[in-house]
């Protein structure tokens, strides 16, 4: 289909079906049955099999009439992508619908306090007992775990295999006995992250994703989608002020489910604020300030073009390449440069919180939020390793933990 055909079909569908007086879930169910919910997904699974590049065309038409889309923000996006690629039909039938309606939320149970950025060093145990998986261990930095219905869990099922081969991937019911969640207060005042203690939590065998020992491969899919999402300053949901029922319910969803992500624009550096802040504080004509702003805008635009090339390649059916790691590293560089520009503009006032700085403390929040972009989803050091070893084919750094059974690998104790 051409862009014009897709645009015309979406317009016709919305003209015949869009009604802001519908309930949010009611509309999303209707939308899923039409295939316009995720048009690049297979027709069997609520899509139309269109190229990924067509999704922007569909989004434009939805925005033109103010139509609400399906729920596709947060970890649920990673869950959907992972289940689509590696899950069984049973997984897709059970979970995709709840993801898209927004009725079920997800979290990602990867990081552990004893392994840092070494995801393959996960030591959470999954032991098969009486035909069921019994999980014991601890996860940390888990966004949205405090209100998630399900979790994407990476756990070790074989301690005699090498570290990357002994991992398996599961879907965990977060509301069952043995799952204990504690929120963590961040230095920017938010509490998006959690630590999760797993004590004899049970997973039925049908909720294992992919084959035993293929957890690393499945986790890579999850991470590649996460890093692709960090390749540019993403737009997060904002509530419409329209009075109809669907907008009212969307506002309630954003205020609750999306609350952990409200500070994400700040962790990206808020490049969009720089020019106006310089004008407001009389620094717009200062050569040093202009140079810092120009540097940030150049970096941000370069990162945006890289992201667009990646999306174009994906739309053309090309396999996902290194753009996730490149884009994520670029996002860190842009955020740090934006930090410097904000402090150049505001000077010591950049540290003011509340209403004292004219932004409601947003600039101060930026300064303490941007370090997160260099850590979440794989540190900058990890991205540099991936780029140097897998893309530039440079010699790999010396490792002493990949050629022996994991049980013999020295580990941090927590």
Q: What residue ranges do the domains of the chain occupy?
A: 3-69, 76-232, 263-377
| Predicted model pTM | 0.86
8-54 confidence digits (pLDDT tens): 999 999 999 999 999 999 999 999 999 999 999 999 999 999 988 88
Kindly list the distances between the CA atom of residue 286 and the CA atoms of 297, 346, 391, in Å, as whole numbers in the listed order: 16, 12, 41
What pLDDT was estimated at residue 231?
Answer: 46
In the chain, what percentage of residues exceed pLDDT 90? 70
What mean pLDDT do residues 91-97 have? 96
What pLDDT was estimated at residue 389?
Answer: 87
pLDDT score of 319 more than 70: no
What pLDDT was estimated at residue 178?
Answer: 98
What mean pLDDT do residues 341-367 have? 91
222-272 confidence digits (pLDDT tens): 988 776 655 444 444 567 889 999 999 999 998 888 888 889 899 999 999
Cα dihedral 74, 324, 164, 123 sign:
negative
In the chain, what percentage of residues exceed pLDDT 70? 93
Pair 95, 148: CB distance under 8 Å: no
What pLDDT was estimated at residue 245?
Answer: 96
User: What's the CA angle centered on 280, arms 275 and 281, to 5 degrees?
Assistant: 100
What pLDDT was estimated at residue 401?
Answer: 80
The whole-chain average pLDDT of the chain stands at 90
Pair 273, 335: CB distance under 8 Å: no
147-189 confidence digits (pLDDT tens): 999 999 999 999 999 999 999 999 999 999 999 999 999 999 9
Pair 146, 185: CB distance under 8 Å: no
Neighbours of 96 (CB within 10 A): 23
Architecture of domain 76-232 in this structure:
Beta Barrel (2.40)
């Amino acid at each position: 289909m051409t862009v014009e055909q897709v645009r015309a079909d979406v317009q016709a569908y919305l003209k015949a079906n869009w009604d802001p007086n519908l309930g949010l879930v009611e509309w999303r169910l209707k939308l899923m049955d039409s295939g316009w919910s995720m048009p690049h997904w297979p027709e069997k699974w609520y899509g139309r099999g269109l190229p990924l590049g067509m999704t922007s065309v569909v989004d434009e038409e939805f925005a033109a009439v103010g139509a609400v889309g399906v729920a596709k923000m947060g970890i649920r996006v990673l869950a959907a992508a992972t289940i689509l690629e590696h899950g069984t039909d049973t997984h897709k039938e059970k979970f995709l619908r709840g993801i898209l309606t927004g009725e079920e939320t997800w979290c990602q149970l990867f990081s552990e306090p004893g392994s840092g950025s070494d995801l393959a060093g996960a030591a959470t145990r999954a032991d098969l007992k009486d035909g069921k998986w019994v999980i014991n261990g601890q996860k940390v930095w888990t966004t949205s775990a405090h209100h998630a219905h399900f979790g994407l869990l990476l756990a070790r099922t074989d301690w005699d295999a090498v570290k990357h081969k002994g991992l398996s991937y599961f879907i965990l019911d977060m509301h069952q006995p043995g799952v204990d969640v504690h929120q963590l207060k961040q230095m920017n005042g938010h509490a998006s992250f959690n630590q999760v203690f797993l004590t004899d939590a049970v997973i039925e065998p049908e909720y294992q994703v992919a084959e035993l020992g293929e957890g690393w491969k499945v986790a890579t899919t999850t991470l590649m989608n996460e890093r692709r999402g960090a390749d540019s300053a993403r737009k997060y949901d904002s509530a419409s002020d329209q009075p109809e029922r669907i907008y009212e319910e969307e506002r309630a969803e954003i205020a609750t489910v999306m609350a952990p992500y409200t500070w994400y624009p700040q962790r990206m550096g808020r490049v969009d604020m720089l020019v106006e802040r310089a004008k407001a504080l009389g620094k717009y004509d200062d050569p040093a300030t202009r140079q810092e702003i120009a540097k940030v805008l150049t970096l941000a635009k370069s990162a945006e073009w890289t992201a667009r090339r990646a999306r174009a390649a994906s739309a053309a059916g090309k396999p996902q390449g290194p753009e996730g790691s490149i884009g994520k590293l670029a996002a860190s560089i842009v955020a740090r440069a934006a930090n410097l520009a904000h402090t150049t503009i505001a000077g010591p006032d950049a540290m003011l919180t509340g209403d004292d700085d004219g932004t409601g403390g947003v600039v101060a929040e930026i300064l303490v939020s941007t370090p997160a972009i260099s850590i979440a989803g794989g540190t900058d050091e990890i991205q540099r390793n991936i780029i140097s070893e897998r893309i530039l084919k440079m010699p790999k750094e010396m490792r002493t933990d990949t050629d022996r059974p994991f049980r013999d690998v020295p580990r941090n104790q927590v």
